[in-house]
Structure 1
Amino acid sequence: MTAIPSDYVNYKSTPIFTPENIPKMFLHLHNTRAGVYGKISVLQGQLKFYGFKDRRGDIEQEIIIKAGSTAISPPQYWHKVEFLTEDTQFQVLFYAQENSQIVRDNLNERTVQE
Protein backbone atom coordinates (compact mmCIF):
# COMPACT_ATOMS: atom_id res chain seq x y z
CA MET A 1 0.00 0.00 0.00
CA THR A 2 0.95 3.64 -0.38
CA ALA A 3 3.38 5.30 2.04
CA ILE A 4 3.02 8.85 3.36
CA PRO A 5 5.93 11.03 2.15
CA SER A 6 8.45 11.94 4.85
CA ASP A 7 7.81 15.71 4.52
CA TYR A 8 4.12 15.27 5.37
CA VAL A 9 2.79 15.93 8.89
CA ASN A 10 -0.35 14.92 10.77
CA TYR A 11 -2.51 18.04 10.83
CA LYS A 12 -5.90 16.66 11.86
CA SER A 13 -7.52 13.50 13.25
CA THR A 14 -11.07 12.24 13.47
CA PRO A 15 -12.70 11.13 16.71
CA ILE A 16 -12.63 7.39 17.36
CA PHE A 17 -15.38 5.85 15.26
CA THR A 18 -17.52 2.83 16.17
CA PRO A 19 -20.55 1.30 14.41
CA GLU A 20 -22.72 3.57 16.60
CA ASN A 21 -21.12 6.93 15.75
CA ILE A 22 -19.62 6.51 12.27
CA PRO A 23 -20.60 9.30 9.86
CA LYS A 24 -22.44 7.62 6.96
CA MET A 25 -20.03 9.20 4.47
CA PHE A 26 -17.27 6.80 5.52
CA LEU A 27 -19.43 3.79 4.64
CA HIS A 28 -20.05 5.08 1.11
CA LEU A 29 -17.74 5.97 -1.75
CA HIS A 30 -15.77 9.15 -1.00
CA ASN A 31 -12.25 10.42 -1.57
CA THR A 32 -9.45 12.22 0.21
CA ARG A 33 -8.83 15.78 -0.91
CA ALA A 34 -5.93 16.84 -3.12
CA GLY A 35 -2.62 16.89 -1.23
CA VAL A 36 -3.96 14.85 1.70
CA TYR A 37 -3.22 11.28 2.80
CA GLY A 38 -5.57 9.52 5.20
CA LYS A 39 -4.08 6.99 7.62
CA ILE A 40 -6.75 4.60 8.88
CA SER A 41 -5.78 3.21 12.26
CA VAL A 42 -7.83 0.33 13.67
CA LEU A 43 -7.77 0.34 17.46
CA GLN A 44 -10.07 -2.65 18.06
CA GLY A 45 -11.79 -5.25 15.90
CA GLN A 46 -11.46 -5.37 12.11
CA LEU A 47 -12.30 -3.02 9.26
CA LYS A 48 -12.37 -3.65 5.51
CA PHE A 49 -11.01 -0.93 3.23
CA TYR A 50 -12.21 -0.85 -0.38
CA GLY A 51 -10.22 1.17 -2.92
CA PHE A 52 -11.67 2.05 -6.32
CA LYS A 53 -10.04 2.90 -9.65
CA ASP A 54 -12.27 5.96 -9.95
CA ARG A 55 -15.62 7.26 -8.78
CA ARG A 56 -17.64 4.87 -10.91
CA GLY A 57 -14.90 2.27 -11.26
CA ASP A 58 -14.45 -1.27 -10.15
CA ILE A 59 -12.95 -2.24 -6.82
CA GLU A 60 -9.18 -2.03 -7.20
CA GLN A 61 -8.26 -3.39 -3.78
CA GLU A 62 -9.77 -4.81 -0.61
CA ILE A 63 -7.71 -4.71 2.57
CA ILE A 64 -8.69 -6.14 5.95
CA ILE A 65 -7.23 -3.92 8.67
CA LYS A 66 -6.93 -5.63 12.04
CA ALA A 67 -6.54 -4.03 15.46
CA GLY A 68 -3.11 -2.42 15.77
CA SER A 69 -2.70 -2.06 11.99
CA THR A 70 -3.13 0.80 9.55
CA ALA A 71 -3.87 1.46 5.87
CA ILE A 72 -3.18 4.55 3.80
CA SER A 73 -5.56 6.28 1.42
CA PRO A 74 -3.61 8.51 -0.98
CA PRO A 75 -4.81 11.94 -2.16
CA GLN A 76 -7.99 11.96 -4.27
CA TYR A 77 -8.39 8.18 -3.96
CA TRP A 78 -11.96 6.84 -4.01
CA HIS A 79 -12.63 4.45 -1.14
CA LYS A 80 -15.04 3.30 1.56
CA VAL A 81 -14.85 1.17 4.71
CA GLU A 82 -16.94 -1.62 6.19
CA PHE A 83 -17.06 -2.81 9.80
CA LEU A 84 -16.22 -6.52 10.06
CA THR A 85 -16.81 -6.86 13.81
CA GLU A 86 -19.32 -5.16 16.13
CA ASP A 87 -16.54 -4.01 18.47
CA THR A 88 -14.49 -2.25 15.77
CA GLN A 89 -13.03 1.13 16.63
CA PHE A 90 -10.92 3.20 14.25
CA GLN A 91 -9.59 6.67 13.71
CA VAL A 92 -8.37 8.52 10.60
CA LEU A 93 -5.29 10.73 10.81
CA PHE A 94 -4.84 13.23 7.98
CA TYR A 95 -1.42 14.20 6.61
CA ALA A 96 -0.38 17.03 4.29
CA GLN A 97 2.93 18.54 3.24
CA GLU A 98 4.47 20.34 6.18
CA ASN A 99 4.48 23.84 4.67
CA SER A 100 1.22 23.49 2.73
CA GLN A 101 -1.76 25.82 2.91
CA ILE A 102 -3.85 22.91 4.26
CA VAL A 103 -1.60 22.62 7.32
CA ARG A 104 -1.39 26.41 7.81
CA ASP A 105 -5.18 26.75 7.60
CA ASN A 106 -5.70 23.96 10.11
CA LEU A 107 -3.18 25.40 12.55
CA ASN A 108 -5.00 28.75 12.30
CA GLU A 109 -8.30 27.01 13.10
CA ARG A 110 -6.74 25.28 16.09
CA THR A 111 -5.36 28.58 17.42
CA VAL A 112 -8.75 30.29 17.12
CA GLN A 113 -10.57 27.42 18.87
CA GLU A 114 -8.20 27.17 21.83
Structure 2
Amino acid sequence: MATIPTDFVNYKSTAIFTPENIPKMFLHLHNTRVGVYGEICVSQGQLKFYGFSDRRGDIEQEIIINAGDTAISPPQYWHKVEFLTADTQFQVCFYAQKNSQIVRDNLNERSPE
Protein backbone atom coordinates (compact mmCIF):
# COMPACT_ATOMS: atom_id res chain seq x y z
CA MET A 1 0.00 0.00 0.00
CA ALA A 2 1.22 3.46 -0.86
CA THR A 3 2.24 6.07 1.69
CA ILE A 4 1.76 9.82 1.46
CA PRO A 5 5.07 11.69 1.08
CA THR A 6 6.04 13.82 4.09
CA ASP A 7 6.03 17.07 2.08
CA PHE A 8 2.36 16.60 1.12
CA VAL A 9 -0.49 18.33 2.99
CA ASN A 10 -4.22 17.73 3.31
CA TYR A 11 -5.85 20.35 1.11
CA LYS A 12 -9.41 19.01 0.91
CA SER A 13 -11.71 16.39 2.46
CA THR A 14 -15.05 14.97 1.43
CA ALA A 15 -18.17 14.79 3.53
CA ILE A 16 -18.68 11.59 5.51
CA PHE A 17 -20.14 9.06 3.08
CA THR A 18 -22.69 6.35 3.90
CA PRO A 19 -24.56 3.92 1.62
CA GLU A 20 -27.33 6.53 1.44
CA ASN A 21 -25.27 9.54 0.29
CA ILE A 22 -22.27 8.09 -1.55
CA PRO A 23 -21.64 9.68 -4.96
CA LYS A 24 -21.99 6.81 -7.44
CA MET A 25 -18.58 7.52 -9.00
CA PHE A 26 -16.88 6.13 -5.86
CA LEU A 27 -18.56 2.76 -6.44
CA HIS A 28 -17.26 2.55 -10.00
CA LEU A 29 -13.79 2.60 -11.49
CA HIS A 30 -12.19 6.06 -11.17
CA ASN A 31 -8.76 7.48 -10.43
CA THR A 32 -7.08 10.17 -8.39
CA ARG A 33 -5.73 13.33 -10.01
CA VAL A 34 -2.14 13.86 -11.07
CA GLY A 35 -0.05 14.68 -7.97
CA VAL A 36 -2.85 13.81 -5.53
CA TYR A 37 -3.07 11.03 -2.94
CA GLY A 38 -6.43 10.02 -1.51
CA GLU A 39 -6.57 8.73 2.05
CA ILE A 40 -9.72 6.68 2.68
CA CYS A 41 -10.61 6.88 6.38
CA VAL A 42 -13.27 4.46 7.61
CA SER A 43 -14.96 5.66 10.82
CA GLN A 44 -17.59 2.92 11.10
CA GLY A 45 -18.22 -0.48 9.54
CA GLN A 46 -16.11 -2.00 6.76
CA LEU A 47 -15.21 -0.91 3.25
CA LYS A 48 -13.47 -2.85 0.49
CA PHE A 49 -10.95 -1.03 -1.70
CA TYR A 50 -10.18 -2.47 -5.13
CA GLY A 51 -7.06 -1.31 -6.94
CA PHE A 52 -6.57 -1.93 -10.66
CA SER A 53 -3.42 -2.21 -12.76
CA ASP A 54 -4.91 0.29 -15.25
CA ARG A 55 -8.28 1.53 -16.52
CA ARG A 56 -9.16 -1.71 -18.23
CA GLY A 57 -6.84 -3.87 -16.16
CA ASP A 58 -7.29 -6.67 -13.72
CA ILE A 59 -7.77 -6.22 -10.00
CA GLU A 60 -4.31 -5.68 -8.59
CA GLN A 61 -5.26 -5.52 -4.92
CA GLU A 62 -8.24 -5.87 -2.60
CA ILE A 63 -8.04 -4.32 0.85
CA ILE A 64 -10.64 -4.51 3.58
CA ILE A 65 -10.61 -1.28 5.58
CA ASN A 66 -12.07 -1.62 9.06
CA ALA A 67 -13.36 1.17 11.30
CA GLY A 68 -10.39 3.23 12.50
CA ASP A 69 -8.19 2.16 9.59
CA THR A 70 -7.15 3.89 6.38
CA ALA A 71 -5.98 3.03 2.87
CA ILE A 72 -4.08 5.21 0.41
CA SER A 73 -4.80 5.62 -3.28
CA PRO A 74 -1.75 7.09 -5.06
CA PRO A 75 -1.93 9.63 -7.90
CA GLN A 76 -3.68 8.45 -11.07
CA TYR A 77 -4.43 5.03 -9.55
CA TRP A 78 -7.58 3.31 -10.82
CA HIS A 79 -9.76 2.08 -7.98
CA LYS A 80 -13.28 1.72 -6.56
CA VAL A 81 -14.82 0.95 -3.18
CA GLU A 82 -17.59 -1.34 -1.97
CA PHE A 83 -19.57 -1.13 1.27
CA LEU A 84 -19.27 -4.36 3.27
CA THR A 85 -21.66 -3.37 6.07
CA ALA A 86 -24.85 -1.30 6.02
CA ASP A 87 -23.51 1.01 8.76
CA THR A 88 -20.24 1.88 6.99
CA GLN A 89 -19.13 5.51 7.08
CA PHE A 90 -15.97 6.89 5.49
CA GLN A 91 -14.32 10.08 4.34
CA VAL A 92 -11.62 10.76 1.76
CA CYS A 93 -8.84 13.25 2.55
CA PHE A 94 -6.85 14.54 -0.41
CA TYR A 95 -3.14 15.37 -0.19
CA ALA A 96 -0.84 17.20 -2.59
CA GLN A 97 2.68 18.62 -2.40
CA LYS A 98 2.79 21.52 0.04
CA ASN A 99 3.67 24.25 -2.49
CA SER A 100 1.75 22.84 -5.47
CA GLN A 101 -0.78 24.81 -7.50
CA ILE A 102 -3.63 22.54 -6.43
CA VAL A 103 -2.96 23.31 -2.75
CA ARG A 104 -2.71 27.04 -3.44
CA ASP A 105 -5.94 26.97 -5.49
CA ASN A 106 -7.86 25.11 -2.79
CA LEU A 107 -6.57 27.26 0.05
CA ASN A 108 -7.70 30.36 -1.88
CA GLU A 109 -11.21 28.87 -2.20
CA ARG A 110 -11.55 28.39 1.55
CA SER A 111 -13.33 31.13 3.39
CA PRO A 112 -11.24 33.06 5.92
CA GLU A 113 -11.70 32.05 9.53
TM-score, length-scaled by structure 1: 0.97
Structure 2 distance, partners of 1:47, 1:96, is 24
- Unpaired segments ≥5 residues, structure 1: none
Q: TM-score, normalised by structure 2?
A: 0.98
Report the RMSD for the aligned CA atoms in angstroms: 1.0
Would you identify which runs of 4 or more consecutive aligned residues in structure 1 move more than 6 Å?
Answer: none
2:27 is equivalent to residue 40 of structure 1: no
Q: CA deviation at 1:111?
A: 3.5
What secondary structure does 2:9 align onto? Answer: strand
> How far apart, in 2, do the equivalents of 1:68 and 1:106 lie?
27
Q: Which runs of 5+ in 2 are unaligned?
A: none
Please report how far the alpha carbon of residue 85 of structure 1 lies from its aligned counterpart in structure 2 after TM superposition: 0.0
Aligned to 2:84: 84
Matched residue pairs, number?
113
Q: What does residue 105 of structure 1 align with?
A: 105
1:19 aligns with 2:7: no
For residues 77 and 37 of structure 2, the distance between their equivalents in structure 1, rounded to whole angstroms, comes to: 9
- Distance across 2 between alignment mates of 1:86 and 1:108: 37
Match for 2:95: what amino acid? Y
- The percent identity for this pair of structures is 85
1:30 is aligned to 30
